[in-house]
Structure 1
């Protein structure tokens, strides 16, 4: 059978806890997903970056559950978890010990400073070469107990302290985390922020040869423990193709903006071009816990002579369309308008990015599911969620607009919406039809697109108009051939009564 559709979710925002997530997976979502990526459940899960700044990478947040709960979920659903290789929280016991004891700390050398990264110093030109997803230099001043001040490397936020992945104690620390993940029956590890993990004087310190060597080293550790690996990198599309040739799996982060361009501009040409060059060892996504990236389709930031998948004008028009479709709620959540880790992303739910147009949203999902790779659906996208402006207002964290906390009643109500029922039926077709294990073709022009899979006599076809959102899906089965508009798939039975 083809790779099944996976769910990516925070456990506290869909179920309230790890046991709560298991109840949702076994209950209203039963039979929908062939795996689940549980976003960081380490302590604390609610720090500066929603769990991506762990104070203790080896401990499950007690408010969410335990390692036993991870094993319980993994007994029924292949689990993907994050290995955060670039940084730890400033509240981590290791960093706090280093602040207290300086060179006498057993963790001295674990954390990157300007001095340790550039032992011979750095010129202005060398510092300007550094790649960072935020403006400014990646350093924060921290003072130790004896008054010594250091420029500590902080790629993302001031609370996320970059670790030195060349230091033996850092490598031991990461392997301890992998031991816990493997021992808790986790199947796959995502190397979060790995592109920034290795700092090299005189280079961009992003996806260098040394970075690839580190990825191979960690991949070998994972293979020895029976763990699969996904590399998470936002970068120029050609670099993604090169990365994919050297790793097990990557994310297709170019797909979301290309699908949005097709559906807002009525232009499928850039998407069809991407199908001819993209790697197929990819996890396909439309939305994630992060924003919608534009760097993945833009010109090469290090060599503007290399064009992107979309032109600068097309990207500007796309961003304006997302803001307009979302009633400008995405505008208030993106760039410098809120506290954002990455200013090169647009923060919005995918449903609102398309103006809550059911037809276009289902066509977007169908395009995702027909694109070669392993489809992954974000929990807010599964429920066709709207931008959570109230949460954004409370936290002023841009990404929170797409990180809603769902109650059980909200889950039940969303699952009864026609667009969600149709999406769930589409997921079931993608999970079960044998044609998806065969050969893929795609064609189109203007706003029209046709995507097909075939294996022997088995066949499934998608025909859509990205300008209007009108689309049909046709498939073979043992009892004959079937054709249905995507919206008509909503005739599937409700998944859960509203209570």
Structure 2
């Protein structure tokens, strides 16, 4: 897969969809695609748009579907299908609360009784995996005074869909058709790993979940859409789901690079390079935290790194962020460690440009489709002030850029170096050829692409200090870079 994608909130980079388009047609023109994070009504809800009241309408404060189609005219557009839940303020849920069994949306939402028609024991309830502290239910009062326990996997205002119900399926199909008509080419199935509740299991990425993924992928493809699945889980889950979809995230790469940079070793990273799926979106950072759980153990399944090595990554991030990542990172129910570091990737590396660009170069050299998050591209550090205002840990990595901040960041060496890497990955012919890698006796990595006379090589060393060197050659000559300054000058 050629080309590089940008991951961005329209309101936090540019301010709205027309201004985002201007950036993509201007200084960010080397990005072949853009994943625009939820731009629906409202884009600024309790979970930054992942709690849609109206999933089928562009928030008018950001623009219209015409603006989305204008962006899509020159690049691929990815948008989210929020498959697990809707807002408790959605018209469908409000109607159900008012009319109950008489509502045309009755059955669309998952209640306690739907999953446990015969009741449940303490063991049954606590078996469910939840990425937040506490239990995954919220009591809602119907208009007739009855109280119903509704599944709310993430937040009390995010009510879960019963994805096995025909009315919920019809809702998802309608949203998929709306996205396709709006110019979207790829949908990301947000939080799909939690969508199916199966008593007797932890209900996360079970066989029943995989069957639902097959079904929703089929529906999306009927609409002419590609499907990207988002699952933060044991790496074996990524391997299992990759053949079922068009694209899957390589979430294991980021923690493995943090491990290598922290220990000076590359054996765990090399093992992942051997088995990782190639139909991957490669990432270092996203709008969520930096997933560490993706490389770690799960139950009796060993990880690419072990529990102590996971804890060491969190400890190094805490030191680099002066303890703030510990404050911002959430420990899920029944877990001893957070599953993500809430910090920018640059902050987690103590703003060390050499380490950061080494990691970014590895990401951009691997097979798959690289995706850069806007805060990472701009060399962003933790937005502690935003976290202090909202109390939401992930907000440290969701800065709202003013025009002045954006101009300053675009002119910085770290951003210019990353844009150079994006341009090389997007335009050099070698990246359309064959890929190979090797690890020498010292643990140094060499990643290489080749197509005819065109060659793109990256050499990486983690010890005694992080170092990288890239060399690109072809009929028109070659270039070499081994520092932020050298990359920024390309």
3-state SS in 1 of match to 2:380 = coil
- Deviates further, 203-212 or 110-119: 203-212
CA distance, structure 1, for counterparts of residue 481 and residue 351 of structure 2? 21
**Mapped contact 2:113–2:119 kept (Cα < 8 A):** yes
Is the Cα contact below 8 Å between 2:414 and 2:488 reproduced in 1? no
CA change 1:333–1:420 in 2 (3 A) is same
Q: CA deviation at 1:466?
A: 2.2
Structure 1, residues 42-77: CA drift from partner, whole Å, max 9, x if none? 111111110001011111111111111111111112
CA contact (8 A) 2:481 2:487 kept: no
The aligned residue for residue 388 of structure 2 is 393
| Equivalent of 1:323 in 308, 318, 324 | 318
Q: Which residue of 1 aligns with 2:450?
A: 454
Q: Confirm whether residue 20 of structure 1 aligns to residue 16 of structure 2.
A: no
Is 1:139–1:151's contact at 8 Å kept on the other side of the alignment? yes
Q: Say whether the 8 Å CA contact 1:420–1:490 is kept in structure 2.
A: no
CA RMSD in angstroms, aligned pairs only: 1.6
Structure 1 residues 299-343: Cα deviation after superposition (integer angstroms, max 9, x where no partner): 11xx3x321111111111111111111222322211269xxxx94
Is the 2:383–2:399 Cα contact (8 Å) retained in structure 1? yes
Counterpart CA distance in 2 for 1:366 and 1:222 is 33
For 1:43 and 1:446, how far apart are their aligned partners in 2?
A: 53
User: Which residue of the partner structure matches residue 365 of structure 2?
Assistant: 370
Query: What secondary structure is seen at the aligned counterpart in 1 of 2:396?
Result: helix
The residue that corresponds to 2:436 in the other structure is 441
**Within-5 A mapping of 1:176-325:** 176-300=174-298, 303=299, 305-325=300-320
Distance 2:198 2:312 in 1: 36
1:40 is the counterpart of 2:35: no
Which residue in 2 is equivalent to 1:497? none
* 8 Å CA contact retained: 1:421, 1:489: no
Equivalence for 1:496: none
Give the corresponding residue for 1:121. 119
Question: Retained in 2: the 8 A contact 1:44–1:61?
Answer: yes
Is the counterpart of residue 432 in structure 1 residue 419 in structure 2?
Answer: no
Larger deviation, residues 483-492 vs 3-12: 483-492
**1:264–1:354 contact (8 Å) kept in structure 2:** no
What are the within-5 Å matches in structure 2 for residues 140-155 of structure 1?
Answer: 140-155=138-153
Quote the residue 1:354 is aligned against: 349
Partners of 2:487 and 2:128 in 1: how far apart? Answer: 49
CA offset digits 1:391-433 (Å, max 9, x no partner):
1111111000000001121111111111111111111111111
Aligned ranges 1:58-137 → 2 under 5 Å = 58-137=56-135
State whether residues 234 and 303 of structure 2, in contact with CA within 8 Å, keep that contact through their aligned partners in structure 1: yes
List per-residue Cα deviations over 1:82-115 (Å, max 9, x = no partner): 0001000111111111112222222111111100
Shift of 1:120: 2.3
Task: Give 3-state SS (helix, strand or coil) of 1:76's partner.
Answer: coil
After TM superposition, the structure 1 stretch with the greater mean CA deviation from structure 2, 244-253 or 86-95, is 244-253
Partner of 2:456, secondary structure, is: strand
Is residue 2:339 matched to residue 1:344? yes
Partners of 1:425 and 1:489 within 8 A in 2: no
Post-superposition shift, 1:490?
4.0
Cα offset for 1:346?
0.8
- Following superposition, the deviation at residue 436 of structure 1 comes to 1.5
SS at match of 2:274: helix
Contact 2:421/2:487, CA 8 A, preserved across alignment: no
Normalized against structure 1, the TM-score is what? 0.94
**Deviation at residue 446 of structure 1 after TM alignment:** 5.0
Q: Provide the rounded CA distance (Å) in 1 between the counterparts of 2:418 and 2:199.
A: 48
Does the CA contact (< 8 Å) of 2:12 and 2:398 recur in 1?
yes
Residue deviations 1:236-278, cap 9 Å, x none? 1112111112222110111110111111221111101101111
**CA displacement at 1:438 relative to structure 2:** 2.1
- Within-5 A mapping of 1:410-429: 410-429=405-424
Q: Deviations over 1:375-401 (max 9, x none)?
A: 000000000101001111111110000
Q: Quick one: distance in 1 between partners of 2:366 and 2:15?
A: 32
Distance 1:33 1:56, change over 3 A: same
C-alpha distance in 2, partners of 1:108/1:343? 36
TM-score (norm 2): 0.95
**CA deviation after TM superposition for structure 1 residue 470, in Å:** 2.1
Q: How many residues of Structure 1 are paired with residues of Structure 2 in the alignment?
A: 484
Q: How far apart, CA to CA, are the structure 1 residues paired with 2:345 and 2:45?
A: 25
> How far is 1:491 from its partner?
4.4
Which ranges in structure 1 are unaligned for 5 or more consecutive residues?
494-499
Contact 1:189 1:228 in 2 (8 A): yes
